[in-house]
Structure formats: structure tokens, C-alpha cells
A and B are shown apart, each in its own frame.
Chain A
Amino acid sequence: MTAEPRFRRVARFVSPADRGFAAVVYAGSILFALLIVGLFVELVLGSWPSIVKFGPAFIFSSSWDPITSKFGALPMIFGTVMTSLIAIVLAAFIGIMAAVFLADFAPRWLGQPLSFLIELLAAVPSVVYGLWGLFVLAPFMRTTLGPALQHVLGWTPLFSGPIYGVGLLTGGIILALMIVPTVTAISRDVIVAIPRDLREASMALGSTKWETAMRVVLPAARVGIFGACVLALGRALGETIAVTMVIGNRPEISSSLFAPSYTLASVIANEFTEATTSIYTSALIELGLILFLVSMVVNALARLMIWSVRGSERV
């Protein structure tokens, strides 16, 4: 009897072919990791001159003046946050309601084509949304929707002032259209995953189907749905081209939703190739770094929430 158990730890990749295979697989994975780390490092390096020169004031200063080399990100942060908020408020309501309908009420013949159409909406390229926003939505806002809103709500500062067509509200609406599919698709999956017996228990207590959906199913799915909204918010924050085409591109903070504005992404899109001084370029890259960090936090949050309900399956 041997006293010491003789454990054999077994290498799974022993043959020369397997060693080579493992080496190539490792190399590919390391390259992938390096690319992502490099992305972060390059953004920090590129924005370093601006970080050193402006410090934290960069975030709180509202002057953006290339001529005097004074750069502050506040107007763009304001524009980014406002358009994204408008978008998520609109998209959350429409998207969640649509998800409830598709998951619990739609007959098959209606549900499938509707789901398909909404998912196609997610595939439309951003520049096409921008084009449509610029030539259809913006004029409609200027001549019809804007005046109507002003007529009813003009007494609030939000809906006062001249209506240009392009501006915060138009940008928000375009973004809402772009993120509705995200909210709908993920919320529907989360709702479908709610166990049947929960619904049946509620129905057995005499609730109507609608009451069951609102009082039992939605609360049970709330974490996942919230995750879907946060994920959609992340997309809205970083969206570039469509917003650039309808936001009006003016680095100002205004209380009116009709006023032209600017977002972090659209400044970079508009000005990066025209930036003449190195500090200008660096300031633009710092905007990109802010965008990167914000969307990273938002995405991490969203994924955590969606995983917590869907298990290990990834979004």
C-alpha cells in the first residue's frame, strides 16, 4: 500500500500538432486582448496633453473655442445626456409596451412579422436614419410637430424659443427610433423567460391577463428590462452619425429642446479632421475617452443586470 496518493495531472495538449495549435490559439487570444487594452491606452495617451493642460475643469467648462484654444466639454456632455434621455424615455415606453404585447398578447401570425420588422429596424445603418432625419423629420419638426408642441407646452422653457427643425428634440427622437429595437428585443426575451406558473398563479387568483402582465410579469422581469434600457442608453450615448446630421452642431447649452446643440460624438465627427493644433486634437480625443469610459460603465451595468436574470447566457 502506498501511503502517498500518486496523483497524475494530465496535460491535454501534448502532441507537437497540439502544442502548435495551442500556441496559435493563445497568440490569437492575446492579440485580441492587446487590441482592446491598446484602444484604452491610445485614447489616454492621445488625450494626455489635454488632460494635463485643462485638468478636471475640462468637464465643467462650457467654452469650446478652437481659436483661443479654450476647450471645455460641458456643452457636449449636456447635449449627449439630453438627447440620450429623450431617447430612452420615448424608447423605454414604446419598447417595453411592444415587448409586453409581443410576449404575452400577440397571436403568432401578428407577433412574428412584427418582431421581424422591429428587428430589421435595428439593422438600418445609422447614416440612413440621419438622412431620413435631416430631410424628413427635421422639416416635419419645423413646420408641424414643433409648432404643435409649442402651442400646447410653449409656456415651459423646454418648448419655447425658435424652432429650427434640427436640435435636441429631433436628435432625441432619431435616437429613440434607433434604440427601440434593442429595448423591445431584450425585454421580450426577458418576459418570455418568466416562468409560466407565476402567470398561472395570478390568473388562478382571478386577475385578468392584463393585470397579470402589469402586476406580476413586469415586476418579475424588471431587472432584466431595466438592463435592456441601460444597454440601449449606452448605444444612444455613443451614436454618432445620425445625431450629427440632426443636432444642429452648436456648442451651447440652452433650456429649449428646440435649440441646436452638440454631442461628444458629433464634435469628434465634425471637427477631428479639421483640428489644426495638437491641443485641439488632444481635446477631441479626450472627448472620445470620456465617451469610452461612460459607455463602458453603462454597458457593464446593463450586462450585469441582464445576466442576473438570464443566467450565464450573454447578450
Chain B
Amino acid sequence: MSTVAAGELLATQELSAYYGSRQAVADVTIAFRRKAVTALIGPSGCGKTTLLRCLNRIHEINFDARVQGSVLLDGQDIYGGDMDPMAIRRRIGMVFQRPNPFPTLSILDNAIACAPKGLNRRGKLEAAERALRSAALWDEVKDKLKTSPLRLSGGQQQRLCIARAVAAQPEVLLMDEPTASLDPIATAVIEELMSSLCKEFTIVAVTHNMQQAARVSSVTAFMLADETGIGRLIEADDTGKLFTKPSDRRTEDYISGRFG
């Protein structure tokens, strides 16, 4: 198991997460490699989403949610008393399992929903174009920027959400099974996008699809719920190594399809 590597952009230390009195994740310590894709894999219900949501403090908007331990962003604990969760969320963007464009905003306004304020029309358009280009969506929507995002296909909507997150110029991008609700072609587009985005961003992506993890990630972390249903990190390693020579018996069982 890898320990906290000094100098990484994002890392957790003995991170535990609770919903009320129910513990969902226990004692996760992991550092995410800078400007690379780290895949979080594991059977469903093992706490991948919960862990991911702790990384940008979106976990805490759940009623009665609690966190223990720390998450370090550039060496600073984002749960520190003087940290502003909104500022943190601007530095750590998120893409959700199901595309969630803002239904009442146009495609253009979605793309720049949190771009800096005070831009004039040209500035807005430029910001939107930049974001949409980096999400490989510009060519498909440039003629209908003023229309509703709900008319787009699922894959396009998801790329719009990626554009929206990228427009905030974050340092980290969290993705929670970004292709789970998409067809294979849209999935391929998003996977390609992830490979190109990781040149700029540190990406943590949840997937329950091992092939996907193997395709897009350079590091893979495997999580598993113990007998009491509490999710734990079993091991994290270079993707190639984890899938060929896992060091833990349970990882081997999982990747060879013995459960989950």
C-alpha cells in the first residue's frame, strides 16, 4: 500500500465519513498523483462516492453527514477551521454520475455558470468557447448556444457538465462514474476526454468498470466494504501493477471476478 507521498496536490489522512451514526468510510489514507487519473474501483456500496464527496466537502451538504480525519490540498487541511468550503469547491471541481446541467440556463450560461463575475458579453463568449472546447463539445453546440441543455444527448450533457467544471479553472477534477448512464460511443468520447484533461488537472474518477479503470487511469485504488459494511481502502498502486500483481488477496479476488 502506498503511503502519503510528499508533494502531491491532494491527499487524505485517516479519512472517515459518516451518515449520522452510520459509518460509510473508514481510515482512508491516500495521495492522488498530480496531473494523472486515479481510478477508484470497488463493488457497489463500498463507499467510493462517499469518499469522493469528502474530497470537495460536498459530503457535508447531506443532512447529518460528518467527517473525521483530514484532506490535504497543497498541504492544507480543507476541513481546517478557517477554510471556506465554497473556495475549496472552486479549486476542486466535480462531475456527477448522471449529467446534471442546470435546466433553466442556456448551454452558454451553463458553461460559464461559475466563471468570474463582471465579464462582458465577449468575455463570456470566449470563456464559454474555451470551456466547451476543452470538453470537446464546442463544434457540436456552437450554433445553439442559446438553447436549453435538456435537448442535448446524455453524452453531450455530461460533456457540458465537464465544461462547466473546467470553466472554474480548478486544480482537481472529481468524477463519479461519469459514464455510468451513457452508451458505449458516448463513453468512449468521455474516456478520451479524460486522457486529455489529465494533462492539465489532477483527476480522481470513480468507476465500477475495471476495463475503464485500466484504459484511462495511471493509478488505481481498490476499495471494499468490510463485514460491517464500512468501506476501506484495500490498496492503491500503478494501474498496470494492480491489475497484474495485486498485493492483497481481496484485490485479486475482485479483479478476477470472484465477487462483485
Contact = CB atoms under 8 A, between A and B. Distances in A.
A15 B60 contact: no
Interface string B54-78: 0001001100011111000000000
Interface stretch (A4-12, A23-31, A78-86): A4-12
Contact of A14 (B18, B66, B67, B84): B84
B83 to A, nearest CB: 10
Contacts of A5: 16, 68
A10 B19 CA distance: 12
B79 A8 contact: yes
Nearest to B69: A6
A6 B66 CA distance: 10
Nearest to B18: A7
Contacts of B85: 14
Given A7-B68, A8-B68, A10-B66, 15 more contacts: A5-B16, A6-B68, A7-B18, A7-B66, A8-B66, A8-B67, A8-B79, A9-B66, A10-B57, A10-B60, A10-B65, A12-B60, A12-B61, A15-B84, A15-B86
A18 to B, nearest CB: 9
A9 B61 CA distance: 11
Contacts of B57: 10
Contacts of B68: 5-8
Interface in A112-142: none
13 contacts: A5-B16, A5-B68, A6-B68, A7-B18, A8-B66, A8-B67, A9-B66, A10-B65, A10-B66, A10-B67, A14-B84, A14-B85, A15-B84
Contacts of A9: 66
Interface of A: 5-10, 12, 14-15
Interface of B: 16, 18, 57, 60-61, 65-69, 79, 84-86
B220 to A, nearest CB: 28
Contacts of A7: 18, 66, 68
A189 B66 CA distance: 41
Contacts of A15: 84, 86
A75 B69 CA distance: 72
Contacts of A14: 84-85
A119 to B, nearest CB: 29
B36 to A, nearest CB: 29
Query: What 5 pairs between A and B have smallest CB-CB spacing?
Result: A10-B60, A7-B66, A8-B67, A6-B68, A5-B68
Contacts of B61: 12
Nearest to A5: B68
B21 to A, nearest CB: 10
A9 B66 CA distance: 6
Q: Identify which of A10, A12, A15 gathers the most chain B CB atoms within 10 Å of its CB.
A: A10
A161 B53 CA distance: 78
Contacts of A8: 66-68, 79
B135 to A, nearest CB: 28
B60 to A, nearest CB: 4
Nearest to B61: A12
Contacts of B79: 8
B249 to A, nearest CB: 25
A21 B208 CA distance: 39
A15 to B, nearest CB: 6
A9 B57 CA distance: 12
A8 B86 CA distance: 17
Nearest to A10: B60
A15 B16 CA distance: 25
Nearest to A17: B86
Nearest to B85: A14
A33 to B, nearest CB: 22
B40 to A, nearest CB: 22
B196 to A, nearest CB: 34
B255 to A, nearest CB: 31
Contacts of B67: 8, 10
Contacts of A12: 60-61
Nearest to B66: A7
A10 B79 CA distance: 9
A5 B67 CA distance: 10
Contacts of A10: 57, 60, 65-67
A7 B69 CA distance: 9
B106 to A, nearest CB: 24
A132 B41 CA distance: 72
Contacts of B18: 7
A10 B84 CA distance: 12
A7 B61 CA distance: 16
A6 B68 CA distance: 6
A5 B68 CA distance: 7
A271 to B, nearest CB: 52
Nearest to A15: B86
Nearest to A11: B60
A191 B68 CA distance: 49
B225 to A, nearest CB: 19
A285 to B, nearest CB: 43
B104 to A, nearest CB: 19
